[in-house]
Structure 1
Amino acid sequence: MMNNQAEKHYINSLLATYITGGTLCVDTFLTISGCLLTYTFLKHIEKVKGKIPWGIFYLHRYIRLTVGLFVVLLLALTIFYKLGSGPLWHFVLDKFGFLGYCKNYWWSQLLYIQNYVNPNESCMIHTWYLSVDMQLYVLSPLILYPMWRWKKFAHTVIPILLLVLHISTFLIVYSKNLKLKYLSPIESTLEDVHNWNTYYYSPTHTRAITWLMGVLLGHFIYNLKTPKKLKRKFVIFMWIGSLILMLSMVLVVHPLTVDDYSKEIPWDPLYITFSRPLWSAGLCWVIFACYTGHGGPVNWFLSLNAWIPLSRISYSMYLTHLFVQVFKLGRSRTTKYFSPFDTFNEIFADTVLTIFFATCLYLLFECPIFNLEVWYYKFVGKKSQKKENADKNRNCIVENVLPLSIRQIK
């Protein structure tokens, strides 16, 4: 940048908290993931009386995540690095994990273990989230099945587990002396970023808290059965409280990342440990309010049909957006002049290009494979139904082996 000081001043300003505090959005997906998985699992296991086809349970998830991931991984290994040029091209590709890291650790990528095996040498750095999500999914039956089997499990074991995870996360952050300033791309050193990723940001055991909060919400919604009408004053109070809570978790980042921040005040471990659960708590109310009919304009906006096309390509957008940004940055041949307007202009342009490439990925690979999978499960389900109906006059309820979560994907 020609004006590095202007960029540094902007990053450390209150207006830039959407960047430094924006990482909380990741926990939005973890909370939603835990909520949806719990709700659909409990609903389906109740229908099949506990007889879950565990092989299909895991196979479907692996196929769902790996088809698109394999395509972009293959693209990174074979074609992408040949598409551009410039003095920064190979440097940028290597920095974002598109060269050596992909060649050395493609296997940990496809096994979804790179957040532990090679957290600082990740192939395509943004895909660390997939490892966390897959690991939580693999371990989920250890929580979800006892939750269905024993009604008090959700009210006893999970709160204890949440307490243990909070304590362990705080101790990790405190013992490793992790600082909130590491969220700033300007203030942090390479060693700071490595410590942040290795000990806090990437490991599943430090990111499972918000996922478990989503699990509790999904369990509560499932047992609620029929949404209840809440008092108007209570609804207003909860909406105001949740929005203030979520907004404050973003804005409070500012005083903790400025240059004159006092290093003697131990606020960093407290914020790092509790900011994400508090953000998730506010989000849980938003989800619950929309489910029970108290969402108002928020529920109307989130339920617009215009979101349906984007929801179908959202995973493809997640996979392809870094390709667009790396390609643009790697081909740079001149020094840029920083300004907030130009930054937002680039964000808009990146979003449009990402939507285009994500649509191509979805139509060419994700959608066809998904349709084949659905067709196969339906075929297996029909054969299973014929076999059950031929049994000795037993009035068995024959369920399709296709998990409910698959049928709900539109």
Structure 2
Amino acid sequence: MANRLSLVLLLCLFEPLVRCVSDRELSLLPKIHEMENPDECSKNNGVFCKITVMLSPFNGTNHSEAWRVIEETKEDYRYFPRDKLFHGRCFKKNQVDRLEENLKFSYDSKYRNDSLQANVKSFACFEKGRYILDDLDYWDMLFISIGVIYGVFIFLATVYTYLASKEKANFVIQVVTIFSLSTIWKELRKPIKNEDFQNLKSIQGIRTITIMLIISMHAYYGNMLTFLKNPEFMENIYINLVTRTVITIFTFLVQSFFLISAWLLSTQLNNILKRNGDLTFKDVFLMAFNRYFRLIPVVAVLEAALRSNLAYNMVSYINADMMKREVDICRYSWWKNFLFIQNIYEPDKICSSVTWYLAADYQLYLLTLGLYYLSHKMKINRNYLISVVVVITIAIQVTIVSQTDFQGFLRLIPRTANLEDMLMSIEFTISYIPPWCNSITYMMGIIFATIYCNHKNERLFHHTVKKILWLVCFLGLPVLAIFITSFQYDIRFLEMMVSIFARPVFAFGIGIGILGMAGKTGGLIRMILESEPLIFLANFCYCVYLFHYAIVFLRILQQEEMAELSVFYIATYTFKDYTFSFVLGALVYITVEHPLVQLQKLVFPQVSTKRPSLEESTKPNSEIIHSNST
């Protein structure tokens, strides 16, 4: 009896491993994507229209073979929604006025032979040349003017520092020197001797590798937003257990950054308490204040670029609707990014959706400052406060998952293969980007930082058995979390457990890895993560994170033909995305982030300590408390 129950439970848990729909059955269905040539359409002075078509049983009967297959695919998250079709068609200009009527007539009988009824859900038409440079508005001209003046200033500052004699600099000269490219480059190449930075060098490698995986994630998911010749390629990835497990890592990546952010902040706070013997309200305020103004300049540059009409000229005219959505959000909801509330207030309308991480990280940053201050001033055990936060977090997530009917943990799956559907989904807005979905990982970072500070000069994993346990935890726990999450569970309790605990399990493994490498454990893994190229590229991670999405997004929206996916195709454009993202990120870092951070340190008051901490060092590479993610 027990064996039977075990078998039933096993089949229930891993039912998704069984493929329900055969290739023969899928061949019975209409193609998801159909597209005429947009370039030929514009040459013939036509209007290109993107049409969304919904299928339903003809005359309300559910007995057709095609509809039965569609119903099966709708119940399986691994498939694209086969009742929703996306077509791109060219029409003559004189047909546009009566297009709705023409479309209804055209699609009314298109799939009758399959006993399916086609209804046009929506359509949008585009004419080449509609968006031109003459559309620049006052704000565009203002931002361009500021950019030109700023660029000239950087050039003059660079020339001045190259020609000027090495005399004692006054305040003005110090400011000019900060913006010199030669000065910035020298600081980038200057060795870092900070003790905590040296111990935690592996963090830099993890940040660089993680940001590369995040670029891969958005490049991969972007495939689902385009017209595809072979959507089955994407479906097969999710049908295969191994490839589905590999792809599932994408939704865990930001946990590394939350863990690192909390770890480094807590290390800085512990150092302040150790050196000063106190943590004042002034200290907490200055840290929050400087953190805010450290993040905002790059965000401002990004928003100025995305709200511009120039953006329309960087995409294909057939994708102007998707570009318009982004531009409109950046024009009317820009202020949320400056208040860091975009992940909790109208989270379906975020200017550059990747900025949700900045909001969540800053909110948890403030929470951590509050926990440390409250613990120190009121003599409350910090572990008790952390436990309270964890319990509240679990209670919120249990309530959400149990009281709503949705997927649970966010998975990048074909079922939500539409940018607007994904960004507006409950999985994204209430189960991925709010602070309570990531606070357990952040609290875990505080705990690891405390262990690190208390055992900074000890080798915690020195013995062979401990090294083996370290390796198993570092590699095994993240893989375990990813593997379990690669399934979807019909049993609500199991989905609830995955939603709550999968992320902390993943982060715990990464935390064990960093803690071991801080104590010189790790061998080849540590050598790779602490290599000079990865450490150097880590300088640019914040800017790369913010701007890579624009690179990937624009590349996708430039396409005017149906894509035929293959491993080579994906590898090629992913490499290009890496290259352009890091080049642009480095450019923004050198011209915006680094000089303005140094100016901030020169102008704004800083927390007073007896020796430099991780954030306080003037060396840019040691400014590793970044809000960098996925």
Q: TM-score, normalised by structure 1?
A: 0.86
Matches of residues 68-79 of structure 1 in structure 2 within 5 Å? Answer: 68-78=298-308
Match of 2:477 among 215, 220, 245: 245
- 1:312 counterpart letter in structure 2: N
Q: 8 Å contact 1:324–1:350 — kept in the other structure?
A: yes
Matched residues in 2 for 1:217 and 1:182: separation? 26
- 1:368-387 mapped onto 2 (5 Å cutoff): 368-376=595-603
1:321/1:350 contact within 8 Å kept: yes
Contact 2:470 2:513 in 1 (8 A): no
Aligned to 1:409: 623
In the alignment, the residues of structure 2 paired with residue 94 and residue 301 of structure 1 have an alpha-carbon distance, to the nearest angstrom, of 43
Tell me the equivalent position of 1:392: none
Task: Describe how 1:56-135 pairs up with structure 2 within 5 A.
Answer: 56-78=286-308, 80-94=310-324, 98-135=326-363
Contact 1:178 1:268 in 2 (8 A): no
Contact 1:77 1:102 in 2 (8 A): yes
Q: Which protein is bigger by CA-based radius of gyration?
A: 2
Deviates more, 1:34-43 or 1:174-183: 174-183
Structure 2 letter corresponding to 1:134: Y
Name the structure 1 match of 2:514. Answer: 287
Residue 296 of structure 1 deviates from its aligned partner by 2.1
Offset from partner CA, 1:315-350 (integer Å, 9 cap, x none): 010011011111111111111111122112211110
SS in structure 1 opposite 2:500? helix
Residue of structure 1 in register with 2:249 after alignment: 21
Contact 2:374 2:380 in 1 (8 A): no
Q: Could you say which residue in structure 1 is the equivalent of 2:373?
A: 145
User: As a proportion of its length, which structure holds more strand?
Assistant: 2
Structure 1 residue 178 displacement after superposition: 2.8
Give the letter aligned to residue 250 of structure 1: I
Q: CA deviation at 1:294?
A: 1.7
**RMSD, aligned CA:** 2.6
Matched positions, count = 386
Structure 2 distance, partners of 1:192, 1:206, is 16
5+ residue gaps, structure 2, are 1-227, 625-630
- Could you say if the C-alpha distance between residues 241 and 88 of structure 1 is closer, same or farther in structure 2, counting changes exceeding 3 Å? same
Q: 1:90 to 1:233 in 2, by over 3 A?
A: same
Q: Give the whole-Å Cα distance in 2 for the aligned partners of 1:139 and 1:62.
A: 14
* Superposed displacement of residue 360, structure 1: 1.1
Q: Which moved more, 1:172-181 or 1:308-317?
A: 172-181
* Aligned ranges 1:8-407 → 2 under 5 Å: 8-13=235-240, 14-50=242-278, 51=280, 52-78=282-308, 80-94=310-324, 98-148=326-376, 153-179=381-407, 183-188=411-416, 190=421, 193-229=424-460, 230-256=462-488, 263-264=490-491, 266-376=493-603, 399=609, 405-407=615-617
Tell me how far apart the structure 1 counterparts of residues 230 and 456 of structure 2 sit (CA, whole Å). 58
Name the CA shift for 1:80/1:204 in 2 (closer, same or farther; >3 Å).
farther
Shift, 1:153, TM fit: 1.4
Q: How far apart are the structure 2 equivalents of 1:287 and 1:350?
A: 28
2:304 alignment partner AA: L
Q: Which moves more between the two structures, 262-271 or 70-79?
A: 262-271
SS at 1:306's partner residue?
Answer: helix
**1:103 deviation in Å?**
1.1
Residue deviations 1:237-262, cap 9 Å, x none?
A: 23213311211212233333xxxxx6
Q: What CA distance in whole angstroms lies between the structure 1 residues aligned with 2:431 and 2:283?
A: 34
Consecutive unaligned residues of structure 1, counting only runs of 5 or more, are 257-261, 385-397
Q: Give the AA of the match of 2:447.
A: L
Check 1:148–1:286 CA distance in 2 against 1; reply closer, same or farther (3 A cut).
farther
Moved more, 243-252 or 74-83: 74-83
CA contact (8 A) 2:470 2:516 kept: no
Task: Note closer, same or farther for the CA distance 1:329–1:204 as it changes in structure 2 (3 Å cut).
Answer: same
**CA distance, structure 2, for counterparts of residue 67 and residue 141 of structure 1:** 23
- Work out whether residues 459 and 521 of structure 2, in 8 Å CA contact, stay in contact via their aligned partners in 1: no
Q: TM-score, normalised by structure 2?
A: 0.57
Alpha-carbon distance in 1 for matches of 2:422, 2:486: 22
SS at match of 1:114: coil
Identify the structure with the greater helix proportion.
1
Task: For 1:217, give the aligned amino acid.
Answer: F
* Larger RCO (CA under 8 A, 6+ residues apart): 1
Given the superposition, is the C-alpha separation of residues 94 and 153 from structure 1 closer, same or farther in structure 2, using an over 3 Å criterion?
farther
1-structure distance, mates of 2:392, 2:409: 26
Distance of 1:324 and 1:46 partners within structure 2: 44
Q: Which residue of 2 aligns with 1:391?
A: none
**Structure 2 CA distance for partners of 1:285 and 1:404, relative to 1, 3 Å:** closer
The Cα shift of 1:231 comes to 2.5
